[in-house]
Structure 1
Amino acid sequence: MHPTDSPAAVVAAVVVTFNRRAALQKTLARLLAEPLDHVLVIENGSTDGTRAWLATLDDPRLAVIEMDRNGGGALGFETGMREAQARFDPDWLVLMDDDARPQPGAIATFRTGLARGRWPGAEALAAAVRFPDGGICEMNRPWVNPFASLAVFLRVLAGGGRAAFHIPDSAYAPGTDRALDGTSFVGFFISRAGVARAGYPDGRLFIYGDDVLYTLGLTQAGGRLLFAPDLGFEHECATQIAGAIPRPFWKIYYNTRNRWLIYRRAAGPVLFPLLMALMLPKWLATGSALPQGERRICRKLIRLAIRDAWRGDFSRSHAEVMRIAEGG
């Protein structure tokens, strides 16, 4: 067994990709320039030449798993983590999307931190994720559970919104490690002990919230997750507007269904019914400004998502969700 507090620790990266060859090329170039022992790519059925390009690479640290279908990021990360553990027995995994990558030197900084005992007792770490221009990437801003702290909960009720439970800009200053309840899978480092505690992500979720549920599950089970701003990542994604209706419309289904699951886990059995009494009317009224046809599709997807989440039913296929989203 490799010691997790030594430069000899085995570190493996897991990257999930689908139809973003140009972004993946940048990410792999960056990863293979870092002191990683293994890089595992989960190729989710791309049709843009990604597989053919990957087949031309010959770095011995690189391994590729070609999925027989696009199971979304959730199945990609579940498969990637399971396969990386089975193939490489790493001390640490680091996860990312195909359009995200460590800043130069980030993995070396991570190894140095391990060697110096920088994060004692931590089973997982969250990197500081920024856009390529240096701005903080909001979709990857770590957070604390607002239902686990009365002070945070009161700030939310007072109108603090998302900012009340997501870490502030000041936390991104170097050397300001702090405890978290959850984070995203971009720049997420997890140790062997963390995987043993939390298991693997739920691949049935397809997209949205698999990282939230997994990291919250880790910390609720007693695992220590720290924000480590000295570990820099960049995410080459478009800015997302909070509360905007997802496009294309099929994303509405997964966004709604998985938010239900997130709220249930975060709020717990006592507060969850009260929370949903507030949220459901808002969800069901979504799309009021849309044209009638789009509004009908949007609300149908939301109703189906609520029903499936209530029942714990994950059997609805992506093909069916796509058909409904296209008006079928």
Structure 2
Amino acid sequence: MSTPTLKQNALHEGTRILGVGAYRPSVIVSNDDVCQWIDSSDEWIRKRTGIVTRHRAPHDVSVVDMAVAAGSEAIEKAGIAPGQLGAVIVSTVTHPYATPSAAALIAERIGASPAPAYDVSAACAGYCYGIAQADALVRAGTADYVLVIGAEKLSDVIDNHERTISFLLGDGAGAVVIGPAEEPGIGPSVWGSDGSKWDTIGMTHSQLEIRDFSEQSMKNGTDLDDLDLAALGEAQANLWPTLRQDGQTVFRWAVWEMAKVAKQALEAAGIEAADLGAFVPHQANMRIIDELAKQLKLPESVIVARDIADAGNTSAASIPLATHRLLAENPELSGKLSLQIGFGAGLVFGAQVVRLP
């Protein structure tokens, strides 16, 4: 008896970004506003980070709301119907539920069901991770079109009095649709992680040093005869995870190690820095952005995204938000090549060269 022959999906030789969408929350927080909570100044924040303002979402606007708005714009600009999406990938670390995913609800709200939908937790590299996966899905023929969204409501996990990271962060969402192309429009992804610095950026608590669900579970598993239920209830009421970082370690790693990754992405794509139209790094810190541009020896013709000045650090949303603004302000970039690189908690990183829509 012969072995049956399996069918395979039809392949797409190339992929590219077809449309970009964005959502920027209505509340704008200035440096002077921030200095009500920390002992700092507008001058110090601008000098150290390049940030002038950041957007924060009102309490009744969720990560899902922002993602739906950005995703809907990307779909419209791509010129496809939501039902044509073969997958929805949402990069976020601020969806408030461990399960179910934000992506499944977003897919339903934009009209993409029953497309497969899932979340990616890769912090500030999450969008580039999503692009790598979308590129592979389309080229393999698993999906014709994939929606990739980076969405964060970082204000939900900020202690405004914390000095290492809180003043940097903003909220927002950015999205792209990836689809087939006659010529390659997404270069090979250079991505990875450095778990030796896993704890450099993470979560903490203002009153309890409970770091994760397993630690809380051990405390909850205490013999009931010895447990002060009233005290535990009060402790849990005060338990709220907030972000913190070792800023100097992150800065050094981002400047020196990510320049190497960016160069690898250029080499993998078979181009040189002078071939670029734009450089869109994760909007972490203006000093990091400027140093990366310097190390890459970018010519003056390359437009460098500096969305951080107005938007702050929006983690997984920062690259698509910055790309959206670049295209709006510089329409001549349409069709040109852009090097994008994300890096953050984990520590994780991802980079690729893409052709702008």
Q: Tell me if both proteins adopt one fold, taking TM over 0.5 as the criterion.
A: no
TM-score normalised to the size of structure 2?
0.25
Higher relative contact order (CA closer than 8 Å, sequence separation 6+): 2
Between structure 1 and structure 2, the one with the greater Rg is: 2
Task: Kindly indicate which of the two structures has a greater share of residues assigned to helix.
Answer: 1
TM-score normalised to the size of structure 1?
0.27
